[in-house]
Each structure stands twice: as C-alpha cells, then as structure tokens.
Amino acid sequence: MDLIVVRGKSVKNTKAFVLLPSECKAAMKVLLDTRDPSCAPPTNKFIFARQCADTPISGIMAMKTLVQECPLLEHPERITSTKLRKYIATVSQVINIIFLSYFMVMI
C-alpha cells in the first residue's frame, strides 16, 4: 500500500491522507496513461478531467444533471449525493453481514 496526500475539501488547506492499494495505483496509472490528449489538456492533473479545463469533474453537479434528466422520477430533489453515500454504506454492511453469515454456515 502507498500513502498519498490529497487536498482536503476544507478551505483551510487541510490535507487528506489516503491509503492506496497497489491494484488501485496500477489502475490509476492505466487511466492516466491512456487518457486521450484531445479530451483533456496535459496540464490537467486530475484523474477524472474535464474537457478544455484544468479543473476536476464535479460529481455532485453530474449527479444533479442526470437526476433532472430522468423524466419518470416523482421527486428528483430527494436524490442527493449524501443520501446515495448513506445508502451505499448501508447496503455494503448488509452484504457483509450476509457474506459473513454464509461463511459461518460453511464452517
């Protein structure tokens, strides 16, 4: 594992420390090595780069745009990144519990 330091989301110039497994590091290198120079400027240091800009893609804005484009949603304002994050955490815990209980039965 490698320890990398990234910019935190606070305006206080805080640092966020990330443990990066070697498999993830290799996958990130492939993403950067195969990036089409016509899509993102070489000066863009972000992995998920925007076209013709040196700024990253905003996941929140991308999600809001996609939600607004779904015509069958009754309440698109209820779908937020925070609720999605909490839902993923809950489902991950449930899957882990199911996996562990299945593993215990096998023993």
Burial of 49 (0-12, 13-18, 19+ CB in 10 A): buried
Q: Residue 68 carries which DSSP code?
A: H
Show pLDDT as tens, one digit a residue, over the chain (107 residues). Answer: 889 888 777 667 788 898 988 898 889 888 888 877 777 777 877 777 777 777 777 888 889 999 989 999 899 889 888 899 999 999 999 998 888 887 777 66
Q: Any idea how long the chain is?
A: 107
* Residues 40, 41, 47, 49, CA torsion sign: negative
pLDDT at residue 35, rounded to an integer: 79
Helix, strand, coil percentages in the chain from 3-state DSSP, rounded to 5: 50, 15, 40
